[in-house]
Amino acid sequence: MVNDNGILNLFNRLPSIFKAAKAAFFMGKAMTATSEQIAAMLDYAAQAGAREACGLVLDSGRVYPCRNLADDPEHFFRIDPAGRAAAEQLGRVVGIWHSHPYGTAEPSLIDRAMCERSGLPWHVVSHPGGDYRHIAPSGWRADYLGRPYCYGVFDCWELVRDWYARERGLSLPRPNEPDGWEERGLDLFTTAAEAAGFIWVDDEPQAGDVLLMQIRGQRPNHVAVWLGDGRILHHLRDRQSETHIYGGWWQRVTVRRARIRA
């Protein structure tokens, strides 16, 4: 059996094209938290109780706790930027950790999506269950259907962005605007569509057209992708992403249709 030193020596003899594989191998081996680190995470989770505890893992091995600034801290977490800045004064951030109160430590779809965005390993503990799981960026992508709603991670505009990235190879911008923009009088989707290079059309729908909808609001507050065959793909707030046959109510709330400029 080849030990880790033997594998390292083997990698060092390979051409430079394999150096990325070497880094990925040892990142994977270092990804799992130690028993001491897991114990520290569980201790912080116990202190947080019904709220999700969260923080960072530093290259020194230290488990650093941060305040959770999420609007709904019993189900989500958002690391305090001031806490992250303080942690970065102590060392390089090599991981992100958080707790799942009164549930399993199995990473959620939101966890997996954010792990990919962060480019860092994620560590999840459950309290009071005492379970531990870890994930690392691997190129994972969520399916179009069945996504849970989370503004900025899984929402209607993110679904449009993902569809265009996968089906058309285009990277659409994400407006840098926190949730609640409609109440602040912003027409975010009109602005976002125009900034992304869409033009407004009123001819026969084509696959990839983006429909702007106004649902019980004063301005467009929902978007959907026209898939063709009379179907739309979209993600309503507080529901899973889904497809529907277009017509009836969906057609009545549609106020504009956009197409990417050729």
The set of catalytic residues is: 156, 222, 234
Alpha carbons 242 and 230: distance in angstroms, whole number: 14
Q: What residues form DSSP beta bridges with 232?
A: 226, 244
Q: Residue 245: helix, strand or coil by DSSP?
A: strand
Nearest in space to 234 (alpha carbons), one of 224, 247, 244 = 224
CA 71-240-104 angle, to 5 degrees, is 65
Alpha carbons 172 and 158: distance in angstroms, whole number: 9
Q: What residues form DSSP beta bridges with 134?
A: 123
Residue whose token pair is 């900034």: 195
Asked, as a colleague might, if the bond just before 128 is cis with ω within 30 of 0, I would say yes
* Residue 181 near residue 238, CB atoms below 8 Å: no
What are the phi and psi torsion angles at 135 (to 5°)?
A: -140, 160
Q: How far is CA 96 from CA 27, 48, 53, 63, 198, in A?
A: 14, 17, 11, 9, 37
Residue 117 CB contacts under 8 Å (≥ 6 apart), including other chains: none
